[in-house]
Amino acid sequence: MENFSFRGKLKNADIALTFHDVILSPGLAEVEPSEVDIRTRVSEHHPINIPFVSSPMDTVTEDQMAIALARQGGIGVIHRNCAVDEQVEMVKRVKRAEALIIRDVITVEPEQSIAEATELMKKHDISGLPVVEGGKLIGILTGRDVRFADPKLEVGALMTKQVVTAPEGVSIEEAKGVLHEHRIEKLPIVDAGGRLKGLITFKDILLRGEYPNAARDEEGKLLCAAAVSPFDLPRAKKLGEYIDMLVVDVSHFHNVRVFEAAKKILSEINADVIVGNIGTYKAAEDVITQLEGVAGLRVGVGSGSICTTAEMTKAGSPTLYAVTQVADALRNYGADIPIVADGGIRSPGDIAVALAAGASSAMMGNLFARCKEAPGALVSIGGRYYKQYRGMGSSSALAKRYSLDRYSIPSKGLPEGVEGWVPYKGEVSVVVQELAAGLRAAMGYAGAKNIRELWEKAKLVALTSVGAEEVKPHDILLPSERPAGT
């Protein structure tokens, strides 16, 4: 009971400053915003080109969002509020969206029917299938071959038998040359024995040119992460076969049972494992000293725009405050683990502040839920378009039950999130460009030419609540505030 006093609890209470409360102090700028480098890491082994991550929420990240965001250079975390097979299927769609060389090639055998081959093409949204027999490439069947064909015919009867191929190790430039010379769209890669080893497609080469900033793995596939409950090892293992990062997804990670469960996941999964959410120095310290192999930390408790956790329970750690707590613990222990700042981010300035506080990237639900690629429904309210957005602890999300264990046991009967609508903003690419431009400008003001410099150089200044109002537009009637009908 030493060092303990009830009065002390108030006297020594920390001030949990968060995004509303601070502003970046302008610093000497040595580079222009366009020269600012915003590349970062989201987990130990995965660099990304923009520090933006989309939340694992069922109105934010499914395959379409993950593909669109990875193409822009960020990464999406596929939500877990669905059956494991559905989640694995979404991950596979992201990993198959583009590749330098497709390794898990979808093939047909010569005795299969044209109907079956057409079905495969439709299911996987592809325009041609290598034909193999005993692993050896014997032909190729394209959309053109099957057009108007009798579906009962065998593939062997219609396939093109003279296939142009390339050996393992062919460069993309060489492959481009071959595709052009023969005016073909698919180039199977075969070994010396004629066995199919991969496939290069014209479409993938085009996409690579179209999205030069995309976040990719070493095979040129888009990076993909997925969320899993700490208590669902079988799902973690299944996802682990395909994904680059697994996010152990629970609202309060600093919990003895969760730590024990996470240990099992960490020991069985090869992919990078990000754990969270945490919000205190002590939680970070316990992760560093008790868990081996953590590759990323998701930080912030209760700041999400749809959160009612802190309101309901009076427990939480606002994201900005939480990030500084965790970042200092990491520094003091010399642990090189990237922090993802999660919850409450409304602007590129908030992202800059989160990074300045020690984060390596920012996770956003609200800002990405507004996009076309988010799964939430698009609705028209009062002549404006909105997208549905809901907390994973909201009643309707909990009703699907798969993410029930994200929240504490009492909350199973007690929602910890709300649902509603956010203004529709269009494509992810547009939102990302706005955020990236704003972030670069903020870093320019702070005088930092990359994120590491922002950690070291940026100064945060606290505002009073009156000051926080002054830094917004004021004393003007904005078009959005104009009374209806005027």
Q: Which positions are annotated as active-site residues?
A: 307, 406
**3-state DSSP percent of the chain in helix, strand and coil, to 5:** 40, 20, 40
Binding site for ligand XMP (CB under 6 A): 55, 57, 251, 277, 302, 304-307, 309, 342-345, 363-366, 391-394, 416-417
The answer to whether 134 touches 111, Cβ cutoff 8 Å, is no
Residue 307 vs 439, nearer CB to ligand XMP:
307
Rounded distance between C-alpha atoms, residue 385 and residue 52, angstroms: 24
The residue at minimum Cβ distance from ligand XMP is: 417
Give residue 483's identity as a one-letter amino acid code.
Answer: P
Q: How far is the CB of 426 from ligand XMP (least distance, A)?
A: 18
- Strand, coil or helix: what is 217? coil
Residue 211 vs 407, nearer CB to ligand XMP:
407
Instruction: Identify which of 276, 274, 280, 366 has the alpha carbon closest to the alpha carbon of residue 317.
Output: 280
Residue 59 vs 107, nearer CB to ligand XMP:
59
Both tokens assigned to 460:
């945060």
Any idea of the CA torsion for 271, 277, 280, 286, to the nearest 10 degrees?
Answer: -40
395-421: burial string, b at 16+ Cβ within 10 Å, e else: eebbeeebbbbbbbeebeeebbbbbeb
- Strand, coil or helix: what is 141? strand
Helix (H) or strand (E) holding 292: none
Residue 49 vs 309, nearer CB to ligand XMP:
309
Long-range contacts: 240-243, Cβ < 8 Å, 24+? 240/268, 240/269, 240/270, 240/271, 242/88, 242/91, 242/92, 242/95, 243/91, 243/95, 243/271
Rounded distance between C-alpha atoms, residue 191 and residue 176, angstroms: 19
Q: How far is the CB of 243 from ligand XMP (least distance, A)?
A: 18
Q: How far is the CB of 317 from ligand XMP (least distance, A)?
A: 11
Residue 18 vs 366, nearer CB to ligand XMP:
366
Residue 139 vs 302, nearer CB to ligand XMP:
302
Both tokens assigned to 107:
């093939």
Residue 318 vs 344, nearer CB to ligand XMP:
344
Q: How far is the CB of 249 from ligand XMP (least distance, A)?
A: 8
- Strand, coil or helix: what is 330? helix
Q: How far is the CB of 53 from ligand XMP (least distance, A)?
A: 9
Q: How far is the CB of 408 from ligand XMP (least distance, A)?
A: 10
Q: How far is the CB of 382 from ligand XMP (least distance, A)?
A: 22
SS (H, E, C) 56-112: CCCCCCCHHHHHHHHHHCCEEEECCCCCHHHHHHHHHHHHHCCCCCECCCCCECCCC
Q: At 200, phi and psi to the nearest 5? A: -110, 135
Q: How far is the CB of 284 from ligand XMP (least distance, A)?
A: 17
The answer to whether 449 touches 424, Cβ cutoff 8 Å, is no
